[in-house]
Amino acid sequence: MYKRIIVALGLEHEHGYKAMEDARQLLSEGGEIVALHVIEPVPGFASNYLPEGHKEEVEASAMAKVRERIGASQHAEAKVLFGHPGRLIPDFAQEVGADCIVVGSHKAGLGDYFLGSTAARVVRHAPCPVHVLR
């Protein structure tokens, strides 16, 4: 059982509810879950064309979706960060002293064979065990 679990939520994938359920089963009594969604940065050339306040709106929307996936759990915190998920998730896990990361994996597409998936990057760089959902 784990005391601090990071659940990496890709809000565009269907793993969120299952990931939270699995994390609750892996959690030891008195432990905590941090449900984390990472928003990838908008390239500089494109960010100039976005309306003012766009970043805040995207963050608020993502936070609402993360909270929805958490549900009524009293042992879970919602967190939204900006950056590259494959590196930021392991770095955040290290920073908060997580002892497990739960992450979903989708069926690999052609781009994943050349670049690798977020789940693969998390597994490669994680400072702790990683529970991967398929």
Q: What is the pLDDT of residues 7-31, one digit of tens each?
A: 999 888 777 888 999 999 999 999 9
Q: Could you tell me the pTM of the whole model?
A: 0.88
Q: Stretch 90-111: mean pLDDT, rounded? A: 85
Q: Are 93 and 65 in contact (CB under 8 A)?
A: no
Taking only the tens place, the pLDDT of each residue in 44-85 is 788 788 888 999 999 999 999 999 999 876 679 999 999 999
